[in-house]
């Protein structure tokens, strides 16, 4: 595979034109509308997934390795990978941005360890939260940090709230049961060593589910595709259907055709084998 890449003529480090082609954009985003298209395009084209942690590996955050994996090999990743690639694109496009580490809450009153990475972009006097790596709960477009008003994004509603007790800005999503806090962050810029440590923790710590639960998420034009531990969901125009996917043949078709991921037979087989074992232990009802 690597020899094929070496002789393909494609760049082996970040190249803006190749990146934009990977996510299906034919223009350089420079405005707020362009920033919104950029985030949605990446989430649509490069799925959220945790294949490597699920198979016992720690993702390599080196820029060249991320480029090969996410762009040339057409695989996905989780927040530390996806938002690192997004940051390179923002820098190449000239957007002023700051990396932040967040504490995931998922409805709790406070977060745990800093296990999520996102970005704050300053544009025309306003600040925007950009996140292409939080999976199905996250907004498809940037969230305005300079207002506490409700912000409709596609078929969801979000808002920002400042938590004085934790000194964090908190992203929340409106549900039928009320507002759910997704994650909170402060503005202290992390060092790369902090990000590397958080990445290792996410991949290896049993208290974080990436090593024990297989997840996929991809935004689509009319909805999204989700997957957790053998149960796939297909939502289109607010209508959801589900399908159990455990066998290697079904998983291969799902990962390559529905998600557009470039994983080989060996890795897909290893995922299927572990999912089958999980299904035997705890069947999907």
CB-based contact 23:45 (threshold 8 Å): yes
User: Exactly one of 33, 108, 124, 131 is catalytic; which is it?
Assistant: 131
Return the residue matching tokens 């084998």.
273
User: Exactly one of 116, 119, 202, 258 is catalytic; which is it?
Assistant: 116
79 catalytically annotated: yes
Write phi, then psi, for 180 (nearest 5 degrees). Answer: -115, 125
Diameter of the chain by CA atoms? 55
User: Exactly one of 79, 119, 202, 258 is catalytic; which is it?
Assistant: 79
State the CB neighbour count (10 A cutoff) for residue 266: 8
Q: What does the H/E/C string look like for the chain?
A: CHHHHHCCCCCCCCCHHHHHHHCCCCCCCCCHHHHHHHHHHHHHHCCEECHHHHCCCCCCCCHHHHHHHHHHCCCCECHHHHHHHHHHHHHHHCCEEEEEEEEECCCCCCCCCEEEEEEEEEECCEEEEECCCCHHHCCCCCEECCCCCCEEECCEEEEEEEECCCCEEEEEEEECCEEEEEEEECCCCCCHHHHHHHHHHHHHCCCCHHHCCCEEEEECCCEEEEEECCEEEEEECCEEEEEECCCHHHHHHHHHHHCCCCCCHHHHHHHHHHHHHHHHHCCCC
Quick one: how far is CA 157 from the chain centroid? 19
Return the residue matching tokens 């799925």.
47
131 catalytically annotated: yes
Active site residues: 79, 116, 131
């Amino acid at each position: 595979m690597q020899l094929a890449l070496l002789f393909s003529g494609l760049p082996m480090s970040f190249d803006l034109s190749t990146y934009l082609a990977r996510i299906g954009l034919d223009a350089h985003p420079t405005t707020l509308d362009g920033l919104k298209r950029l985030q949605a395009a990446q989430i649509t084209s490069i799925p959220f997934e945790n294949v490597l942690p699920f198979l016992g590996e720690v993702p390599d955050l080196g820029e060249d390795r991320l480029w090969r994996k996410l762009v040339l090999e057409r695989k996905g990743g989780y927040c530390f990978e996806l938002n690192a690639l997004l940051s390179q694109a923002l820098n190449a496009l000239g957007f002023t941005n700051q990396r932040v580490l967040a504490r995931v809450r998922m409805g709790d009153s406070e977060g745990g360890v800093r296990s999520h990475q996102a970005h704050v972009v300053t544009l025309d006097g306003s600040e925007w939260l950009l996140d292409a790596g939080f999976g199905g709960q996250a907004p498809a477009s940037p969230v305005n940090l300079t207002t506490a008003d409700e912000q409709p994004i596609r078929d969801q509603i979000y808002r920002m709230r400042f938590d004085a007790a934790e000194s964090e800005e908190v992203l929340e999503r409106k549900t039928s049961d009320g507002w759910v806090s997704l994650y909170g962050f402060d503005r202290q810029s992390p060092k790369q060593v902090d990000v590397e440590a958080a990445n290792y923790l996410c991949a290896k710590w049993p208290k974080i589910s990436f090593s024990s639960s297989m997840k996929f998420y991809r935004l689509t034009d009319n909805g999204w595709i989700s997957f957790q531990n053998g149960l796939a969901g297909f939502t289109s125009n607010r209508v959801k259907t589900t399908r159990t996917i455990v066998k290697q043949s079904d998983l291969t078709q799902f990962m390559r055709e529905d998600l557009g991921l470039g994983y080989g037979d060996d890795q897909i087989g290893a995922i299927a084998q572990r999912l089958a074992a999980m299904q035997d232990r705890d069947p999907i009802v």
